[in-house]
Amino acid sequence: MKRLRSQVKSCLKTETVEIENSETLRNHHHALLEEEIRNLREKLINWYDINKRDLQWRDLAKHIDPNIRGYSVLVSEIMLQQTQVATVKSYYSKWIEKWPDLTALSKATLEEVNTLWSGLGYYSRGKRLHEAACKIVHEMDGTMPQKAEQLQKQLPGVGPYTAAAIGSIAFNERVGLVDGNVIRVITRLCSIGADTSKKSVVDVIWKLSNEMVDPERPGDFNQGMMELGATVCTPKSPLCQSCPISLMCRAYKRSNPKEAAGPADIEDVPDCLLCLPIDQPWTVKDGVTNYPRKAKKTAAKIARNIVLIVERPTNESDSNEYLLWQRPVNGLLANLWEFPSFPSHQWSDDLDESSELTAALDQSKGLLTGRTIERCQYVADVFHQFSHISQTYGLYRVAVRACENAKDNVVSLPDHYQGFRWLNARQIAGAAISTAMKKVFRAFTQNVDGSGSSSSLKRKTKSKETGTVSKKQMTLQSYFKNSQTE
Amino acid sequence: MFEARLLQGSLLKKVMEALKDLLNEAAWDCSDAGIQLQAMDNSHVSLVSLNLRAEGFDKYRCDRNLSMGMNLGSMSKILKCASNEDIITIKAQDNADTVTFVFESPEQDKVSDYEMKLMNLDQEHLGIPETDYACTIRLPSSEFARICRDLSQFGESMVISCTKEGVRFSATGDIGTGNIKLAQSAKVDKEEEAVVIEMQEPVSLTFACRYLNSFTKATSLSKSVQLSMSPEVPLVVEYKIEDIGHVRYYLAPKIEDEEAA
């Protein structure tokens, strides 16, 4: 009963007391003292000057022309959203070579943008970047806004993070910045154990970040925080021994009470909305990595699609062409090209899929007007992990031959789909298609060219015909669970 | 900085043979404890888990944990350039996008190095529970390879049954049926030639031959192989790699399909 009452009380508190109340922050070691902040700025920037990685966009961010500076940071920051530095490097240099400034980008077509973006994921980013360039060139006289607030308001695809990054790095505006790396650094620095997937908590982190940022060199300070998070203050096994700011770090202090300076005895206060939750307290084993805390992710959705690889012979004898269609303007993988695919039942390897297959073939009849289907074979299963969907594709090879009255222009597509093309293998490699579809096509060529798999092609029908007891091949996911990543 | 030097370079060549049949690409996870690799084949039916301990290397240094995504086809091409007697060193910088293989002849009169681009891989890591298996069977690895090869002529799948009398491998198909029984060895001179069965309860499971055949590509790594089975869980096929580690294969069984009557 007593317990219950205290819960009610803390709920009430959430509504009535603003957690940004600086009084709370000071009391519970969730903020730095002014003197510490000065020390932090100096140590961090010195560290960054010595340890920063050499990256192309960092050089361009120092260009004389403010528009080039803004543009180069805009491109790099948008590419870096959800994507690793190593991957971005090559895409970035290709991009800058092709479209060195906003004007050049505004003249590109969306198709060209998607082709270059192909493989980088989250394709709406490329589209928005292009829209932003068009907007600046056509509606803002080609001059990029220089304040974070305007950047966020006026440019498509630019959120608070990207706006702050451009403002501080390209235009030296004094704004703090919060991304995944900074969240980790600040939650450890200020022993914030609350769920960082909550907006209220992230708001506090933004506020702290704005307080901490160096007034003289905001861009380098922000990049230093991110770099520190990426290379030293890592999710698992952080390198506290080489951290320039461990002496003011509350989490470090807590795990090494004897060594570090700063406030003594950090304890979690039951009603505090920023401390570690009482039911999941500090553990000695995890040390610094007790922070940050995040509510458990919901499991990724499981989906299975049937993919029809429709193949037609061409006049040049040795290369076949394949049918691809273009996805709708909005939604997942917008505007990308793919092999016709249709949702099937949930992921399981060897279940009889014939009814779904028949339905898929029916739906694609409209595409194949005037062509006869010579054969349809199961090829392989391909698995791809999207960030929120565990997707399996069941590949079927559909060989078609044109009848006399075949007309290529008579085609009916599903709603919102934008068009279709026949491409050969080489053209597919250069087309704007997603990583998942590239995987699909690779699996297709491997399984069809390689002779070893002919038995598996027949697998489904064969077991039925011979009447032997059919057994279902299980997959390992029925037995072993994905261990948590990150 | 990562550096691992292996006097017996041929081991790495054999490890490669043991992987490349099932996997096109894989992430090599390096830490100060050693090198680990875990990956499933495309169909997610089998899984390879490789462990090479740091102590097993002639020289081993890993300053920072790193995960190197490699195209195994390319890596295999590179390792084919090494002779069996060569000393092999694998090197990478902490944030590099390439890895370097150095091959030295035993007399140090020839040194070659090959640099390979790394790739970004989606990491799917499965947690494999510690299991007390109902049966473990140790047998000469060449014998196991022979059994898999012979029986796969009969059918796509093979039944492995383990009872206290011994272990039976059987396959049925269009041309007929094949059965191979192995009894526990009564007395052997060499330990690695023995068939040893430890059993708590009898187990019988069905597996796809083509994966088993791929596993036997590891035969050259070890004179004997150990199979572990329990009802309704994946089979484990383990080859020890001298003093340095092991490669384990997990294979999901085939089970009665309720829909087929």
Name the residue in chain A with its Cα closest to that of B157: A471
Chain B positions touching A475 (Cβ under 8 A) are 43-45, 252
> Which pLDDT score, from 0 to 100, does residue B148 have?
95
CA distance A372 to chain B (A): 31
Is-catalytic flag, A23?
no
Q: Which of B56, B79, B49 is nearest to B6 (CA)?
A: B56
Query: A15, A35, A77, A465: which one is catalytic?
Result: A77
CA distance A93 to A121: 17
Positions in chain B short of pLDDT 50: 258-261
Q: Residue A320: its pLDDT value, please?
A: 84
User: Which of A350, A384, A476 is the best mutation test for B, with the most CBs of B within 10 A?
Assistant: A476
Best of B21, B45, B64, B128 to substitute, by most chain A Cβ atoms within 10 angstroms, is B45
Token pair of B35 as six digits: 């090198």
Residue B252 has its nearest CB partner, among A352, A464, A473, at: A473
Q: What is the pLDDT of residue A372?
A: 74
CB contact under 8 A, A350 and B174: no
Instruction: For chain A, give the number of residues.
Output: 486
Domains for chain B: give ranges and CATH numbers. 2-117 (3.70.10.10), 135-251 (3.70.10.10)
Strands (E), A276-370: 301-313, 320-326, 337-338, 341-343
- The full set of domain ranges for chain A reads 20-290, 301-478
Cα gap B227→B245, rounded to integer Å? 17
For position A4, what pLDDT does the model report?
40
Can you read off the two tokens belonging to residue A265? 């005895």
Q: Which of 425-484 (A) contact B at CB < 8 A?
A: 443, 455-456, 459, 463-464, 466, 468-483
Binary contact (B43, A380; C-beta < 8 A): yes
State the pLDDT at residue B124.
72
Phi, psi of A340 (to 5 degrees): -50, 125
Q: Give A456's contacts in chain B (Cβ within 8 Å).
A: 210
Its pTM stands at: 0.46
DSSP string, chain B: -EEEEES-THHHHHHHHHHHTT-SEEEEEEETTEEEEEEE-TTSSEEEEEEEEGGGSSEEEESS-EEEEEEHHHHHHHHHTS-TT-EEEEEE-TT-SEEEEEEE-TTSS-EEEEEEE-B------EEPPP---SEEEEEEHHHHHHHHHHHTTT-SEEEEEE-SSEEEEEEEETTEEEEEEEEPPS--SSGGG--EEEESS-EEEEEEHHHHHHHGGGGGG-SEEEEEE-TTS-EEEEEEETTTEEEEEEEPPEEE-TT--
In this prediction, residue B26 carries a pLDDT of 93
Give A-chain residues touching B123 at CB under 8 angstroms. Answer: 485
Rounded to whole angstroms, how far apart are CA atoms A187 and A152? 25
Instruction: Kindly determine whether residue A455 and residue B252, on different chains, have CB atoms separated by under 8 Å.
Output: no
Per-residue pLDDT of chain A (486 residues; tens, 9 = 90+): 334 433 333 433 343 344 445 445 555 578 888 888 999 999 999 999 999 888 889 888 888 899 999 999 999 999 988 788 888 998 999 999 999 999 999 999 988 998 888 888 778 888 889 999 999 999 999 899 999 999 999 998 888 999 999 999 999 999 999 988 999 999 999 989 888 888 888 999 999 999 999 999 999 999 999 999 989 999 988 999 999 999 889 899 888 877 655 555 677 777 788 888 877 888 888 888 989 987 655 556 778 888 999 888 877 666 788 889 888 888 888 888 999 888 876 544 445 677 777 777 777 776 776 677 777 888 888 888 887 787 888 888 888 876 655 555 556 677 788 888 888 888 888 888 888 898 899 888 887 764 433 333 333 333 333 334 457 788 887 788 776 443
Cβ-contact A113, A94 below 8 angstroms: no
Confidence at residue A170, expressed as pLDDT on a 0 to 100 scale: 93
How crowded is the C-beta side of B78, counted as CA atoms within 13 Å? Answer: 22
- Looking at residue B70, its pLDDT comes to 94
Which residues from chain B sit within 8 angstroms of residue A86, using beta carbons?
Answer: 95, 97, 120
Cβ within 8 Å of B, A 35-94: 53, 84, 86-87, 89
Q: Identify the burial level of B253 via C-beta atoms within 10 angstroms of its C-beta, where 0-12 means exposed, 13-18 middle and 19 or more buried.
A: buried
Cα distances (angstroms) measured from residue A212 to each of A33, A49, A197, A217, A424: 10, 18, 22, 12, 55
Which two three-digit tokens encode residue A17?
């007391």
Interface A-B, measured as beta-carbon pairs within 8 A, has a size of 96
- Can you tell me the distance from the alpha carbon of A158 to that of A177, in angstroms, rounded to the nearest whole number? 13
Q: Which of A87, A236, A476 sits opposite B252 (nearest CB)?
A: A476
Helix or strand run (H / E) with residue A398: strand A389-402
Asked if A383's CB is within 8 angstroms of B254's CB, the reply is no
For B39, which residue in chain A has the nearest alpha carbon? A476
What pLDDT is recorded for position A459?
A: 38
- Residue B187 C-alpha, separation from nearest chain A C-alpha, in angstroms: 38
Query: How far apart are the CA of B120 and the nearest CA of chain A, in angstroms?
Result: 7
Let me know if domain A301-478 sits in CATH 3.90.79.10. Answer: yes
Residue A134, CA distances (Å) to A110, A171, A180 in order: 11, 21, 29
The model's pLDDT over B76-120, given as tens digits with 9 standing for 90+, comes to: 999 999 999 999 999 999 888 899 999 999 998 999 999 999 998
Domain at A20-290: CATH code = 1.10.340.30
